[in-house]
A and B are shown apart, each in its own frame.
Chain A
Amino acid sequence: MNTGEKTSIPNEVVAPQVEARAATNTILLCAGGACISSGEESCLTSLRATLEKYALQDVVKVVETGCMGMCDAGPLMILYPEGVFYQKLKPSDMELIVSEHLLKGRIVESKLFENPNTKVKITSAYDDHPFFTKQVKIATRNMGIIDPMSIEEYIAHDGYFSLQKVLQEMTPEQVIDTIKRSGLRGRGGAGFPTGLKWELARKVPGNEKYVLCNADEGDPGAFMDRSILEGDPHSVLEAMVIAGYAIGAQKGYIYIRAEYPLAIERLNEGIKQAKAYGLFGENIMGSGFSFDLEIRMGAGAFVCGEETALIESVEGKRGQPRVKPPFPAQKGVWNKPTLNNNVETYANIPTIILKGPEWFASIGTEKSKGTKVFCLAGKIKNTGLVEVPIGITLREIVYDIGGGIPNNKAFKAVQTGGPSGGCIPAQYLDMPIDYESLKTIGTMMGSGGMVFMDEDTCMVDVAKFFLEFSVDESCGKCTPCREGNRVMHEILERITSGEGEEGDIEKLETLGQSIIDSSLCGLGQSSPQPVLSTIRYFRDEYEAHIKEKRCPAKVCRPLIRYQIDESKCVGCTACAKVCPVSAISGEIKKPHTIDPEICTRCGSCIGVCRFGAISRVTPA
């Protein structure tokens, strides 16, 4: 069977007369206000006529769209599926576009859209989609591109070339110097300079040292470490061997959550393959250097992401933090000098070695070099994983890469740094995202999780949510964290149920500060941050809850009530049918009413009303 013929696309097939030669089957014409005013309608008429002339009216669909947002260049047109973008159209251009592009499959260069900033002509709308173009991929360079179960594909993308260079051409000091000069900082949260960390670990005397990889990713909203390990396990393995060579360690551990079974599987397979090629284990690449590592699983304890708790857990104990100093570089696993970095940090190392520290340092800002992987989650159009140069503005992340907030809602805030971080409100949209800038506004880079919130999100509810997390996950060692967070949670519980009292906000602030001052580990010290940061930027929302018993976002159930607008209700009974507690009554075709005493505020009715007659009101 000749499947080769079957699989060719129409561009290469001589098309019957009625069929267009290019693959185009849809033409989008921008019918935004600006394009209409610059002549879109006459272009549309002309386009339709031209299509008819060539008998293409049934093959090509013409769609008028809303504003494409590049009004200067209007009227605009996109041809799908190729995604070719034409600008500044006149009715007379239609003949050219149909006869050249559609029939002959040739792009009409003179009408191509030009990026106003770069002056580069864009052939495809997709190629220039900011979700892709604003990204610079270093740590995630192979993700989604290679087969993670194939070491050969990793090698095909320059994998293990850095290891070869390190083992056969560089001294450990040169490796450390390279990392130092690159300006790479820890991607797990605090941003400690990686090169310095390596140097400290090298300088501690001792023959037995450990290289540790923190893959206990637990921050809500962060999943880059899982994705890297699942998509490109060798990048981390290669980096850990390099780290072992640099600090003088022959053993290592990857500590990973038990919730990531696929990542564990792929790492184990990766180790096996690398050993088979002699790139891991005994006498690597014939250099005389040996390095082996094992995987240690967590068992569902967030606190193990803290480095000293992680070390305890690696040793098979309860994951409770140790007192620092001594730091892990001096006394880590089995009280031996230990180097600990997170997954994303390691994933950067091979590229830095290969392309040089100067190249890496040319990306990012003065104090924060390179890129950072962010996970976009919550109320954002393009949820997903992106890698961008550090110093990019929040606005670019939200509106260009993230595609904005869904359903035309307004951006309210973004939570960064998970339960240890804080929120960034709309007034800082133009602030660059780097370690220092985030600190000045009361949050932190953290592991890179970004949870977006829109106008329908209640900030007090969000703070309560994070605190609940900290209460659940506190290891229990220090009283301020164990008990203090519980009390803060109780206060928030009161506020959101309408029983807040004057002075509650101040209580939260004092209590939060003392937890920060008196907890042992980083997690305890940062656990009140979400509350303090929401108070800082959304104090009015707290006050509304306490003083007016009102939830401005209409989220906190005890503070809202559902009501039916009689003028809009047609009595279709859809809401009454869906109500799980039969709180809605009324005759058919007559306005219905909701009994607030019975109503549980589940919101099912709002979803089914096709007339927009049901709304939430606050105070209840």
Chain B
Amino acid sequence: MAKVKSLEELMKIKEKSLKDLQMRDTEKKGKIVVAMGTCGIAAGAKDTLQAIVSELAENKIDDLSVVQSGCMGLCEVEPTVEVHMEGQSPIIYGHVTPEQAKRIVQQHILGGKVVSDLMVRKGEI
């Protein structure tokens, strides 16, 4: 990896990863973020992540990236999952058990309908 020595080089990395983050110029149609702090994991986030990955595989969806993040600060509703489809505001879901995760994949990702009873927030946190 090239060492960063100047502002310009740092800027380049920033621009490139911003592009990746905003899913521009990529194959991805959206991303699913699972909050994987210890609190989330203690509340079962690993099982939730597993369920999402296998449900996506089962439905042969390969144009979504599944990524982890730190704690969103919403401990009350852990495990939390953010679904961010290209061109739409992100939706944050709370209390996502493996069963609910499957529902989110079915209803939101496949069906295009927000799972309103699990929704905690719409928009950036």
Q: Which A residues are within 8 Å of any B CB, using their own CB?
A: 1, 3-4, 6-10, 13, 23, 25-26, 80-83, 124, 126-127, 129, 132, 140, 142-150, 152-153, 155-156, 158, 160-161, 164, 168, 223, 226-228, 230-232, 260, 262-263, 276-279, 285-286, 381-387
B70 and A231 contact, CB distance less than 8 A: yes
Residues in A with CB closer than 8 Å to B1 are 276-277
Q: State in angstroms the CA–CA spacing of A64 and B92 once bound together.
A: 25
Query: Which of A149, A160, A387 makes the CB contact (< 8 A) with B68?
Result: A149
Residues in B with CB closer than 8 Å to A4 are 29, 63
A6 and B109 contact, CB distance less than 8 A: yes
Asked whether A286 and B5 contact (CB < 8 A) given A124-B122, A223-B39, the answer is: yes
Q: Which of B6-65 touch A at CB < 8 Å?
A: 6-7, 10, 13-14, 16-18, 20-21, 29-30, 35, 37-39, 41, 60-64
Task: Please give me the residue from chain B that is nearest to A142 by CB atom.
Answer: B70
A129 and B121 contact, CB distance less than 8 A: yes
Q: State in angstroms the CA–CA spacing of A279 and B29 once bound together.
A: 32
Residues in A with CB closer than 8 Å to B109 are 6-7
B37 and A227 contact, CB distance less than 8 A: yes
CB distance from B55 to the nearest CB of A (A): 13
B122 and A381 contact, CB distance less than 8 A: no
Asked whether A23 and B114 contact (CB < 8 A) given A227-B37, A231-B69, the answer is: yes
Instruction: Tell me if A's interface is mostly helix, strand, loop or mixed.
Output: loop
A164 and B88 contact, CB distance less than 8 A: no
Query: Which of B6, B14, B64, B76 makes the CB contact (< 8 A) with A383?
Result: B76
B122 and A156 contact, CB distance less than 8 A: no
A126 and B121 contact, CB distance less than 8 A: yes
A127 and B123 contact, CB distance less than 8 A: yes
A168 and B7 contact, CB distance less than 8 A: yes
A127 and B122 contact, CB distance less than 8 A: yes
Residues in B with CB closer than 8 Å to A1 are 60
CB distance from A585 to the nearest CB of B (A): 40
Contact with A along B80-91 (1 / 0, CB 8 A): 000001001001
A132 and B38 contact, CB distance less than 8 A: no
CB distance from A233 to the nearest CB of B (A): 9
A9 and B88 contact, CB distance less than 8 A: yes
Residues in A with CB closer than 8 Å to B72 are 143-144
CB distance from A536 to the nearest CB of B (A): 31
Asked whether A153 and B73 contact (CB < 8 A) given A147-B68, A164-B10, A279-B4, the answer is: no
Residues in A with CB closer than 8 Å to B125 are 132, 144-145
Q: State in angstroms the CA–CA spacing of A20 and B75 once bound together.
A: 34
Q: State in angstroms the CA–CA spacing of A260 and B30 once bound together.
A: 31
Q: State in angstroms the CA–CA spacing of A158 and B11 once bound together.
A: 9
Residues in B with CB closer than 8 Å to A382 are 74, 76
Asked whether A147 and B3 contact (CB < 8 A) given A4-B29, A156-B17, the answer is: no
A144 and B76 contact, CB distance less than 8 A: no
B21 and A156 contact, CB distance less than 8 A: yes
Q: State in angstroms the CA–CA spacing of A280 and B10 once bound together.
A: 14
**Which 7 pairs between the two chains have the least Cβ-Cβ distance?**
A231-B70, A278-B3, A144-B72, A81-B116, A152-B17, A385-B73, A156-B17
List 26 A-B residue pairs with CB atoms under 8 Å apart, sorted by A's residue number: A6-B112, A8-B112, A9-B85, A10-B112, A23-B114, A25-B113, A81-B114, A81-B116, A81-B122, A83-B122, A124-B122, A126-B123, A129-B121, A143-B71, A149-B68, A156-B14, A164-B10, A223-B39, A227-B39, A231-B37, A262-B38, A278-B4, A285-B5, A285-B6, A384-B74, A385-B73
Task: Please give me the residue from chain B that is nearest to A281 by CB atom.
Answer: B3
A144 and B35 contact, CB distance less than 8 A: yes
Q: State in angstroms the CA–CA spacing of A517 and B1 once bound together.
A: 57
CB distance from A222 to the nearest CB of B (A): 13
Q: State in angstroms the CA–CA spacing of A611 and B75 once bound together.
A: 33
Task: Please give me the residue from chain A that is nearest to B18 by CB atom.
Answer: A156
B4 and A145 contact, CB distance less than 8 A: no
CB distance from B25 to the nearest CB of A (A): 14
Residues in B with CB closer than 8 Å to A168 are 6-7
Q: State in angstroms the CA–CA spacing of A71 and B88 once bound together.
A: 33
B29 and A7 contact, CB distance less than 8 A: yes
Residues in B with CB closer than 8 Å to A80 are 116, 119
Q: State in angstroms the CA–CA spacing of A143 and B18 once bound together.
A: 17
Query: Which of B17, B76, B120, B123 makes the CB contact (< 8 A) with A153?
Result: B17
Q: State in angstroms the CA–CA spacing of A132 and B125 once bound together.
A: 7
Q: State in angstroms the CA–CA spacing of A227 and B1 once bound together.
A: 29
Residues in B with CB closer than 8 Å to A276 are 1
A144 and B70 contact, CB distance less than 8 A: yes
CB distance from A177 to the nearest CB of B (A): 22
Q: State in angstroms the CA–CA spacing of A480 and B125 once bound together.
A: 48
CB distance from B105 to the nearest CB of A (A): 11
Most buried by B among A7, A9, A82: A7
Q: State in angstroms the CA–CA spacing of A124 and B114 once bound together.
A: 15
B4 and A230 contact, CB distance less than 8 A: no
A384 and B30 contact, CB distance less than 8 A: no
B71 and A231 contact, CB distance less than 8 A: yes
Residues in A with CB closer than 8 Å to B68 are 147-149
Task: Please give me the residue from chain B that is nearest to A273 by CB atom.
Answer: B1
CB distance from A37 to the nearest CB of B (A): 29
Q: State in angstroms the CA–CA spacing of A386 and B75 once bound together.
A: 10
Residues in B with CB closer than 8 Å to A23 are 113-114
Q: State in angstroms the CA–CA spacing of A82 and B116 once bound together.
A: 9
B17 and A9 contact, CB distance less than 8 A: no
Other contacts beyond A81-B91, A226-B38, A230-B38: 10, CB < 8 A? A4-B29, A7-B29, A8-B112, A126-B121, A143-B71, A158-B14, A227-B73, A278-B5, A279-B4, A385-B71
A6 and B110 contact, CB distance less than 8 A: yes
Task: Please give me the residue from chain B that is nearest to A5 by CB atom.
Answer: B112
Q: State in angstroms the CA–CA spacing of A285 and B3 once bound together.
A: 7
Asked whether A7 and B30 contact (CB < 8 A) given A160-B10, A278-B3, A278-B5, the answer is: yes
A227 and B70 contact, CB distance less than 8 A: yes
Residues in A with CB closer than 8 Å to B37 are 226-227, 230-231, 262
Q: State in angstroms the CA–CA spacing of A112 and B37 once bound together.
A: 37
Q: Which of B85-109 touch A at CB < 8 Å?
A: 85, 88, 91, 109
Residues in A with CB closer than 8 Å to B110 are 6-7
Q: State in angstroms the CA–CA spacing of A9 and B37 once bound together.
A: 30
CB distance from B27 to the nearest CB of A (A): 10
CB distance from B32 to the nearest CB of A (A): 11
Q: State in angstroms the CA–CA spacing of A260 and B41 once bound together.
A: 12
